[in-house]
A and B are shown apart, each in its own frame.
Chain A
Amino acid sequence: MVEVKKLKKYFVLRGKGLWGKKYFVKAVDDVSFFVKEGQSVAIVGESGSGKSTLIRCINGLVKPTSGQVFLDGESVVGLKGNEYKEKVAKKVQMVFQDPTTSLNPRLRVFDIIVEPVLAQQRVPKAQLVDLVNDLLRKVGLDPKLSDRYPGELSGGQCQRVAIARALSVRPKVLLLDEPTSSLDVSVQAQVLKLLNELRQTFHLTYIFVSHDLGVVRNVAERVFVMYLGRIVEIGPTEEVIDQPLHPYTKLLIESIFYPDPNVEMKKPAIVEEVETTMNAGCRFRNRCPFSTKECEIYDMKPLEASRDRYVSCIKWEVMERWSS
């Protein structure tokens, strides 16, 4: 359904001063993966790991430096105008992190939801009213809210409107950029439940960005762990969380605070500062307790650890033996 091949996105920055030396920030660096139809996939990583840039490359919000994105087998990078609408906008829609900034405060809920539809084609008003009422009901809102402004709604209601807007063109793929991280826990639970139900009803494919592994466990079947522009581990959610292979994934999982009062406070692993412009070798080697000379030349090519599990670490087998 969605396939990404050797995708790269470099941002050019300048050093100090007007004639400062140019340098690149490799936000996404040689990433390849595919997502099957109907699957739910989570991209996990810390801020700056390139996870948002990666999904923005899929729907064309960010133009990749090089590489290919395929939707239904068709290459979609750099499409414009009607071709973009037909091949991308109809198939892929996005829900952003903060609904208070992703919804136009001057439009009523009705206009927000129909905007993507009208961008595609003309539709008679009566049909639009039916569509909006139906969508609002599906996302668990009262159709009466359709003449309200976003400012009159709560954060959870706004996020439901944003989801309704994304669904209005009947897309196949939903890109979700931390859709619950600005919400309260009780509201987060409501939205997650809704997302799970909608996936069943509309047979959607989810590509989900999150840093919260608790959320990931509940919505995703597969996980991609990203670190400084690279995918370092891929696998089924349960396996990755229960038996992480990459040292970075291990660090992430050790950092979790479990809602369980019997877990004792542990001393965290010492973590060095992150250098964002590292070019060669394993990106994680400065923070990694297992790194050696070999890691400086390793190109982070994913290694197959078991069926459907890939890890970008040459030491994973050694570490496995060491920890067991």
Chain B
Amino acid sequence: MNELVKFENYSLTFKTLYGDVRALRNLSFTINSGEIVALVGETGCGKTVTALSIIGLLPENASQTGKIFFKGIEVNHENVKRIRGKEVAIVFQDPTSSLNPLYSIEQQLVDVLVSRWDIPKSEAKEKIDGLLRQVQLFDVDRIRRAYPHELSGGMRQRVMIAMALACEPSLLIADEPTTALDVTVQRQILYLIWELQRARKFSVLFITHDLGIVAQLADRVVVMYAGNIVEMAPKKELFSNPLHPYTSGLLNCALDPRKKKLPEPIPGSLPSLTGLLDGCIFRERCGRVQNDCGILTPELAEVRPSHFVACHLWREQRG
């Protein structure tokens, strides 16, 4: 397995009227080719900006330090256009607002194909049938001519996936692609992504807060809290042996419909991202806080094979 995307000490700060918001701090992680990495965390923990950083879709008030590599080459302002919409495609949360309501599905797909492959429009049109069938939209003639509002939410999201696949990306970013959909449709869309990934072997960066989805879809899980990576491990390892108190807290909050078990909430709420905090970002909500937690910022370290955690509790085992 080779590294497709690599974050190296990547930090991101937004300059606002109320001070600097430290959205991401010292991220270091990789996405290997052919794997599904789930980025898990709660609202505001920096999942989406992490993904947007790869394709340079950040607002103007963002300032970044550290490096992001794509296929071994550092991503910068000049070469990001060669990646975005070509090597990396993204499916957003709400398909209603990410499709253009004024153009038919065919026109929108043609635009993507033309800009990606530099082919004439007539050739692009021929490819559309195949693309739509791939995402299990079989009523091709109707859907080509349809405008987004004439399709159901699930169909729109399938169109979005078709658009992403038209680019034949090596990385597909899926930013909560099913939160706006019903459960029965959600299952179909996620199965579609999973099946396509198995067949084509592209990588997926899957952003979600739903641990149920993570449990079935992901190969590896990255847990984020307030702009930091707190834990990173293969899926089964993470679920059976969570090391960071936040991860175990999250797992205790997840509801399993098969059993009645009242969730054990994590007390407190997210800290403010403005201002510089020394020490562990989770310490105010942590039940196992120690003296060091207020002084030293824990670093992400490998405490078991391919299981990384940023917590002082596991410092001794680092070896």
Contact = CB atoms under 8 A, between A and B. Distances in A.
Contacts of A253: 257
Contacts of B217: 265
Contacts of B215: 257-261, 263
Contacts of B265: 186-187, 189-190, 193
Nearest to B257: A213
Interface size class, chain A:
35 or more
B184 A252 contact: yes
Nearest to B269: A154
A299 interface: no
Contacts of A216: 257
B263 A193 contact: yes
Given A184-B42, A260-B215, A265-B191, A46 B183 contact: yes
Given A192-B262, A265-B191, A257 B213 contact: yes
Interface string A243-279: 0000000011111111111111111100101100000
B255 A214 contact: yes
Interface string A171-212: 000000000000011111110110010000000000000011
A251 B253 CA distance: 25
A193 B235 contact: no
B257 A268 contact: no
B42 A241 contact: no
Nearest to A257: B212
Contacts of B253: 185-186, 188-189
A241 B257 CA distance: 7
Contacts of B254: 185, 214, 259
B264 interface: yes
A189 B266 contact: yes
A254 B187 contact: yes
A251 B183 CA distance: 10
Contacts of B187: 254-255, 257, 268
A271 B184 contact: yes
A189 B251 contact: no
B216 interface: yes
A185 B260 contact: no
B257 A261 contact: no
B180 to A, nearest CB: 9
Interface residues of B, number: 48
Contacts of A258: 212, 215-216, 256-258
Nearest to A267: B191
Contacts of A217: 255-257, 259-260
B269 A214 contact: no
A215 interface: yes
A217 B257 CA distance: 6
A263 B186 CA distance: 17
Given A47-B182, A189-B266, A268-B187, A241 B209 contact: no
B115 interface: no
A263 B152 CA distance: 29
Contacts of B250: 185-186
Given A258-B215, A265-B194, A251 B269 contact: no
Interface in A73-129: none
A66 interface: no
A238 interface: yes
B140 to A, nearest CB: 15
A305 to B, nearest CB: 20
Nearest to B221: A261
A186 B261 contact: no
B233 to A, nearest CB: 11
Interface in B34-88: 42-43
Contacts of A65: none
B256 A156 contact: no
B191 A185 contact: no
Contacts of A213: 257
Contacts of A263: 215-216
A155 B43 CA distance: 10
Interface string B195-224: 000000000000001111111110000000
Contacts of A259: 211-212, 214-215, 239, 251, 254-256
Contacts of A274: 152
Nearest to B180: A47
A255 B240 contact: no
B251 A218 contact: no
A255 B257 contact: no
Interface string B167-203: 0000000000000001111111011001000000000
A224 B256 CA distance: 19
Given A156-B269, A257-B212, A184 B43 contact: yes
17 contacts: A185-B253, A186-B249, A187-B265, A189-B253, A189-B263, A214-B256, A217-B259, A218-B263, A251-B184, A255-B184, A257-B212, A258-B215, A259-B215, A260-B239, A261-B216, A261-B235, A265-B191
Interface pairs A-B: 3 shortest CB-CB: A214-B255, A257-B212, A189-B263
Given A187-B265, A196-B262, A242-B258, 11 more contacts: A46-B183, A155-B43, A184-B43, A185-B254, A186-B266, A214-B255, A254-B187, A256-B257, A257-B187, A259-B211, A267-B191
